[in-house]
Each structure stands twice: as C-alpha cells, then as structure tokens.
Structure 1
Amino acid sequence: MTVWREVIGQEPALAILQRAVAHPESMTHAWLFTGPPGSGRSVAARAFAGALMCPTGGCGECRECRTAVDGTHADVDLVATEGLTIGVGSARELVQLAARRPSVGSWRVIIVEDADRLTEHSGNALLKAIEEPGSRTIWLLCAPSVEDVLITLRSRSRHVRLRTPPVEAVAALLTDRDGVDPAMARYAARAAQCHVGMARRLARDERARIRRRQVVTMPTRITGVGDAVGAAADLMAIAEEEKEHSLTERHTAERGRLLQLLGADPAARTQPPHVRSQLAAMEKEQKTRATRFIRDVLDRTLLDLLSVYRDALVMRTGAPVAIVNEDNLDTVGGLARALTPEGLLRAMEAIGTARERIDANVAPLLALEGMAVSLILPR
C-alpha cells in the first residue's frame, strides 16, 4: 500500500510526481493539476503532498502520509471553496500562509482545489507568492483545464495532465476500497463515466441510481413543447430535491451553532442587532453555497443526459466504442431510430450550450427550457 493507491489510471502523471519526490533538489514550487471531472485532480494533489511529507517518499501508512492526504497535517493547507469564486480575502490569507516556514515537515504545501474559481483580483493577489515562493513552499493548483486558470498563474506552474481512468480501474477501486460488489462497481463506474466520486455514490446510494434513471429515460418522452417544459421542470426539481436532502439539515445545524456561540436564544422572535448581522452574513454564505450546489448537480445531470445521445450516436453509426447506458438500451435505441446522426449532434450541442449558460449565471430553469425545446423528437 502506498500514498498513490487511489490515483488510478494515471501512470504518466505518477511518473512525473514520483520523480519530483525522489529529487527534491530540483523541485518545482508551483504545480497545476488538470483533468476532466472525476479524474482525481485533488486526490493526486493530496497524494503528492503526502509523498513530500513522508520520510520514505509515500509509504501510505505513516502519520505524515495519512494526515497530509486527509488535510490535517500542520504543513498542508487545503483550500476547497463551496462558493462560486475564491475571493481576494481568502487569497491574501494564503499569501500569508505561504510566507511561513514548515513547522514539522520538509515543505509547506498549499493545495487550491478550485483554482478555476480564482477571480482576476484574487489571482493577482496570489501571483507574487507563486512567482517568488518561499524556499520550502509548494503550491498545488487544481482545475479542469489550463484554459480555466488565469494565464499569469498557469504560465508560472508546471503542468500535470490527468486523464479519465478506465472503467476497470474505477470498478476495482470501488471493490477494494469500499467493498462494493463487483457487478455493482462496474455498473457504477460505467454509468458515472469513470467519475470516481460519482461512481462511489451511485454504488452506495439507491436514491442516486433512481434519480439518474429518471434523467436517462427522459429523451424519448420529449415529443412536444409541453413535454419539453415538463422535462425542464423535472430536471430542476431533481436538483432542488438534491439540495434539500444535502444542505437543509447542514444549514439548520450551522444556524444553531452560531446562535449558541453568540449566546442567543434560538426561540426568540427577534434577535439583537449584532446577532442579526452575523446571521445575515451566514445566510448569504449559505445562499451562495446552495447556488453552486444547484449548478453542480445540474451539470452532472446534463452529463448523464448527454451520455444517452452519445450512446445513440455510437449505435447509429456503428462506432466501435463502449456504450455507457447498457442498462437503458431501449431509450438509446429509440433515439438512434428517431434522429439522424446530425440530429443527435445538434441535441448534444444543445445540452452543451445549456451547461455553458448555467455556468455563466443564466437562470437555470430558463436554460433548461431552451435546451429541452431543442430536444423535441420529430413526429
């Protein structure tokens, strides 16, 4: 067992990282990890941090490895925003951290899991610290692609490109690490399109499997404008239900802890001004978190929808490529018969446009309705 055990299907990237660990005298002080969703960018960054802290270069068993990977090591600082962006204030705090020497390890490692969420101002606040880091400080930035990161930051970082791991590797990880039945593990890995986190959720959460089936069986039911509007509403309802299930209890608990910390009475009809201001700030943060959560859920949902049209195109053209939705061949076959290859490509483009619009802060329901109208099947 090593610290790299969960970095699956990334042999070229692993060779680069392991060589850097073995030769610290030539260490690069800023790294940029890129790869498609689910490729394990932050997993690779944490494993790299663990190997840098480990006396033997990444045994996976020692305290340094374990605490670095789970983000509790004194010299490993992890930034994982739940908001839409990383603000200037957070960036300045990181600059101060970067100036400190490591306290117990050989390096101070700062991992920014969502470097693509740095704004121009917050990125510029980090620029000097990344351009001229302390002699024992290493920055690990993670983003979907180099184009998602400010050019001033990516030009000063060494690029490590990750790829989508194969289905077999993801299934084996679920079986070995989480004890998932091999058949379920393979289904989840394939349905999640090798996104490790989503595969784990599909394998363990029946509600997630039910919601996905609702999405992937939707295309053949969109035969008119009314159906399109209803499908968009259904997609939005799935995201809202997911938000309620995942965030409502958490937000209520956060409010209770804040009131307790401030010594306020939770049952009081009105709160003192200083308590109200703290509650307002917390509620603003929770609203931002919920907005990002909705966007992330919708993006994953649209990727599931896209996979059905992709499979139909594979079936229609006879391409020698594996089908993602092997458990939903009726819908895939129905689309392949109803649409020409050009029509399937137009549908896939409409889904991609909806993803871009939602990411650009277009009202989600409006973007979904525009997409769904483009997915109406011909009579």
Structure 2
Amino acid sequence: MQVSHVEAVDTQAPPLPWSAVWGQDAAVDTLREAASDPFAMTHAWLITGPPGSGRSTLAQAFAAALIAEPGDEQVMRQVLAGTHPDLTALRAEGVVITIKDARALVERSYFAPSAGRFRVMVVEDADRMVERTSNVLLKALEEPPERTVWVLCAPSEADLLPTIRSRVRTLRLREPDVADVAALIARRTGADAAVAEQSARHAQRHIGMAQRLATDADARRRRDETLRGVVGVRGVGDAVAVAGRIVQLATEDAKALTAERDEAERASLLRTVGVAEGARVPPAVRGQLNALEDEQKRRATRSLRDGIDRVLTDLQSLFRDVVMLQHGRAEGLINLELEAELRGLAGAWTPGHTLTVLDRLGETRRNLEQNAAPVLALESMLITVTTGRTP
C-alpha cells in the first residue's frame, strides 16, 4: 500500500504538462529528462502498461513538453486539449487501425512543425494494428524526420511486431495499488470511500473504469448482474440465456458510453453547415450526415466488442478468485461481494475444472478478436463453465 504516495500527489502536484499524470513518477522523470534535451533523445517511443494505467495521458503530457517552449503553459494546455496543429493523435475508432489511417499518419509525420518545437505523432492503440498496417509505420519509425517524435501506446511489448519493437524505446508503467486508486477516485469524484474501494477493486486498478463504476450505478448493476448470472449457470439452457443477456447488457453499456457523444457530433455538424435544431436536413447535407453516422456505427461496434472484452476480464477475475479459494487463499479477492457463491464453486469444482474455464475464457477472447459472433462465442464458453468440457 502506498497511501502516503497518494497524499503526496495531493499536496505536491507536478507542474504542467505533467499534472494530469498520476502514480507514474519514474516514467514522468524519464520523459521530463528526455524533453529537456529533445534533440539528443530517442525519436520513437513505446509506452506500455495495463489498461487504465495512464498510457495515453502520459503520451499527451510528453507531447506537450516537446511541442511547447519550457514554461509556455498556454501552448501546453492547447496540446493537452488535443487542438495544437503539431500534435496528431490516432485512436482506433473502429475494431482496428486501418491501413488508410496509418498511411495518412505517416504522410503527416514528414511535415515540419508549424508552430511548436516538434511534431508529435501519438498512436494510442498501437496493439490494434494488424501486420500489414504495422509495416506501413516501419520506415517512419526507423528514420523519422529530425523534428518528429513518435509515441506508441500498447498494453505490452508483445502486442506489437518484433520489427516495431526494435525501432522504439520502451517505457513500462507501474500498476497502482487498489488503495491508491480508491483514494484517487474518492478525491476526484466525491464518491463514498466504500464505493470507491469496491470500484477500484472491481476495475482491477483500471483508473478510468474505476471512475466510471464509482459514478454510474447502472454500470455497477450491469456488472453484478453479469457475474451473478454466470455463477448461476447450471446447464446448456442457462448458458444460452446468460450469453444472450451478457450481450444485451454489453450493448446497453456501449450505448450509454457513445450516445451522448454521437448526438453532440450530429448537432455540431448541423450547426456548422447552418441547419437549425429540429429543421429539415437539406439533400446537400445528407451525404455528410450519412458519413458521420457510418463512422459512429463503426465506433459503436468497437465499443460493443470492448464491452464484451471487459466482461471477459471480469469473468477472469471471478474464476481467478475461485482458484485462490481452492488453494486456501482468501486474501486479495476481487469479488468479495460474491465470496459465498465463489466458495460454493471452489468446493464443487476441481482445480483442473477451474483452470479449464480460465483457458476457455482466453480462447473466447481470441475468437472474438477474429470476429466470431459474440453470442455463439459466449454460449460455447459458458457450456464449458457448466460441464468442464469444450464443445
């Protein structure tokens, strides 16, 4: 536990642009030092760490330190807001980063900085590049222009091709403790300490997810319903029903995340082209509106798949708890609220059965990455839960 560290963050917040970075002091020190002498540093970086560890926040802060002159807080804030012309940040709005997007990024990387000291190219989801797309970046990473810096973000080095890894300097982030995340969430959101602790534990220290759970009772309800449904599976019929319900809940979660943004984008587009709220959309604007809706649909597909992936992560925590109980360890359980049910499973199953279920969860995740139908993939996985056998 490092509660003292959290308290230090409260009273000694680092200056811009690093003030939004939390719990990554060693990484901040490395990048601050690099930014202090940028013309002698590595020009291609890879920031790795588990989801929620702050990879994108750190990349944005590094970009601000590189683009702005030292002490120029106005430019730093512009970079942190994502509006500076010398920052290009790519995040996969669809399931993967497309070759088209990668080529556009590489082309832009060869432009000289227009206003700042450097042009910075941030790829927030570098693990979402297939091999062909990764190959588009290779030359640009190996020999970037003198005043261009690449910053890739991914969960781990293993998520990228060896040819990419050999061209970057890797910076690994630390995982915060549950108590640290809970203290941060309580401070940021004003959530009750017990809710903040539960949210940090259920999110497995993912800061963004913990904040959402702490502030969204519906998200907490959906998670609880999903896990209790899986624990209650007793046969094939249950597996089919629960799989369908998981996808329904994940869809609701995805809609909750994207609906407000989608509506704001639509209103902004109509306002930009001079269409009043509630007015009929003229034919000349429909093409732009259709293009926006197509992009939003692709983003919704990604959001749904991310939501199902998050369900699988929650289920892994569930069966990880069962394994711990089967080996006589009750400390450090993630799903304390289900301890009685988990003890029942631990007594009814063999450790081998539990490990089979965990293996099946990993296989299900890989199948979904290959565009397997979510309901069918989850049904197959849940049949393994109830029978211990792979269909």
TM-score, with normalisation over the residues of structure 1?
Answer: 0.88
Amino acid at match of 2:345: L
Describe the shift of the 1:176–1:246 C-alpha distance in structure 2 as closer, same or farther (beyond 3 A): closer
Written as runs of structure 1 = structure 2, the 5 A alignment for 1:170-319 is 170-248=181-259, 250-251=261-262, 254=265, 272=283, 277-319=287-329
Distance 1:245 1:185 in 2: 21
Judge conservation of contact 1:219–1:331 (CA < 8 Å) in 2: no
Describe the shift of the 1:169–1:48 C-alpha distance in structure 2 as closer, same or farther (beyond 3 A): farther
Describe the shift of the 1:373–1:320 C-alpha distance in structure 2 as closer, same or farther (beyond 3 A): closer
From 36, 40, 54, give the equivalent of 1:26.
40
Amino acid at match of 1:124: N
From 45, 51, 67, give the equivalent of 1:37.
51
- The alignment status of 1:362 with 2:376, answered yes or no, reads no
Judge conservation of contact 2:68–2:117 (CA < 8 Å) in 1: no
| Cross-structure match for 1:16 | 30
- Deviation string 1:108-130 (CA, Å, 9 cap, x unpaired) is 21111011223444333333222
Task: Please state how far the C-alpha of 1:162 moved relative to its aligned partner.
Answer: 2.0
Task: Please state how far the C-alpha of 1:362 moved relative to its aligned partner.
Answer: 0.4
Percent identity (aligned): 45
Task: Please state how far the C-alpha of 1:267 moved relative to its aligned partner.
Answer: 7.7
Count of residues in Structure 1 that have an aligned counterpart in Structure 2 = 373
Q: Secondary structure at the match of 1:375?
A: helix
Amino acid at match of 2:108: L
Describe the shift of the 1:286–1:53 C-alpha distance in structure 2 as closer, same or farther (beyond 3 A): closer
Q: Secondary structure at the match of 2:88?
A: strand
Q: Secondary structure at the match of 2:197?
A: helix
- Deviation string 1:161-202 (CA, Å, 9 cap, x unpaired) is 223221122123223333333332222111100011100001
Describe the shift of the 1:251–1:335 C-alpha distance in structure 2 as closer, same or farther (beyond 3 A): same
- The alignment status of 1:346 with 2:356, answered yes or no, reads yes
Describe the shift of the 1:316–1:8 C-alpha distance in structure 2 as closer, same or farther (beyond 3 A): farther
Describe the shift of the 1:190–1:89 C-alpha distance in structure 2 as closer, same or farther (beyond 3 A): same
Describe the shift of the 1:184–1:51 C-alpha distance in structure 2 as closer, same or farther (beyond 3 A): farther
TM-score, with normalisation over the residues of structure 2?
Answer: 0.85
Judge conservation of contact 2:52–2:209 (CA < 8 Å) in 1: yes
Amino acid at match of 1:35: G
| Cross-structure match for 1:103 | 114
Describe the shift of the 1:124–1:50 C-alpha distance in structure 2 as closer, same or farther (beyond 3 A): same
Task: Please state how far the C-alpha of 1:308 moved relative to its aligned partner.
Answer: 1.2
Structure 2: give runs of 5+ residues left out of the alignment.
1-12
Q: Secondary structure at the match of 1:33?
A: strand
Distance 1:209 1:277 in 2: 39
- Deviation string 1:41-90 (CA, Å, 9 cap, x unpaired) is 1122112223334554xx8x922333333322332221122112222332
- The alignment status of 1:165 with 2:179, answered yes or no, reads no
Distance 1:6 1:282 in 2: 31
